[in-house]
Amino acid sequence: MMGIIFTIFLVYQWDHVVPVLEFLGIIDWLDSMGLIYEDAAYLTGFSIFMFAIKATIIFCILVAVFLVLGIILTMIGSSSVGFFLLAVPFIILFSPFLFIYVLIKGAFETEEEKAENRRIYLEGKKTILELIQESSEELTKEQAFNRLNRLPTSGDTNFLIAVTKNEDIYLLLPNPVGVYFHEGVPAEKLAVEKTEVPIGKDPTKLPNRLTATLSETGSKYTTLPIEDINYIYNYNKKDFNPVINKFITTKRFDNYLKKAINSYFTRKFNLKRLMSESKTREDFNNYASQLVEMNAFNEDIVKMMWESEQFLTAEKE
């Protein structure tokens, strides 16, 4: 009965069914078996119906074999092999109904619905890098340097995202000493995955397209060589804020923060001392040029906090 109804449906809706079969790559296969008759929908439907009857007989035999083997193996040892052999025929049994549903749905879809389904399909296929690129602002290395040229502070979440040549993804941390930027950038490696999309849901409607987690352990941060970086982005906050908020509470960031601030002001103090002790103008100019490069834009406010902390530490001692 199902075969007769299916044949009538194919004949009646042949003009609508053909594009669906072509999209699924089935038309060429049916044509190669001599089942397609141009300008003869009724004859084509009958040929496919007869082919379906033969295939159904073979299918029933295979299902019976799988069922018998599955039951025997399950009775003997309750094995996973037995369970698999029982599951296979049921999957095969219901697959034609799924195929029929797809055909019927495709036959009555409007052009707008087809375009929308195609868009959703392509959205779901986008890579992690493509998702970052379309939702973030790409920066040059010079622009990134200007944004990172500051001292790190507690609660600072205004980091950047770097993608390496191997497509590894890193957080770039504030780096106050300009001369060191060209040697490498303090960074934190991230594990980034696409957020799982429920079946039938538009990926663009998700709260966040990417899910990022920390991939490093321990208390030591990473220094990422500049030459390894392919892209730098001002990141999409919806995707990366959760992992950044977690990172700034780690021991790694706390260690980096303290080391960066202490190194900055200690080095600046030493450069000023060396300038005052210079014996030659060449030495003086050399130290002065290094001092000029130390121009973190939040230096004044951080310096007051740092000096207060140094004073309190000395008082305790």
Instruction: Check pLDDT > 50 for residue 28.
Output: yes
Q: pLDDT above 70 covers what percent of the chain?
A: 60
Give the per-residue pLDDT at 96: 64
pLDDT the model gives residue 71 = 64
Per-residue pLDDT of 211-222, as tens digits, reads 899 987 666 778
Distance CA 175, CA 150 (A): 6
Rounded Cα–Cα distance for residues 317 and 313 (Å): 6
Which residue has better confidence, 294 or 168? 168
Residue 277: pLDDT over 70 = yes
Average pLDDT, the chain: 75
77-117 pLDDT, tens digit each = 455 655 565 566 666 666 666 666 665 565 566 777 777 77
Q: What is the mean pLDDT of residues 304-309?
A: 74
* Res 312: pLDDT: 45
Q: What is the pTM of this model?
A: 0.62
Euclidean distance between CA atoms 138 and 160, whole angstroms: 10
Is residue 11's pLDDT more than 70? no
Q: What does the pLDDT look like over 177-209, one tens digit per residue?
A: 654 555 678 899 999 998 887 766 788 777 788
For 24, the token pair is 């699924």
* Terminal Cα distance for the chain, rounded: 94
The Cα 66–Cα 82 span in angstroms is: 9
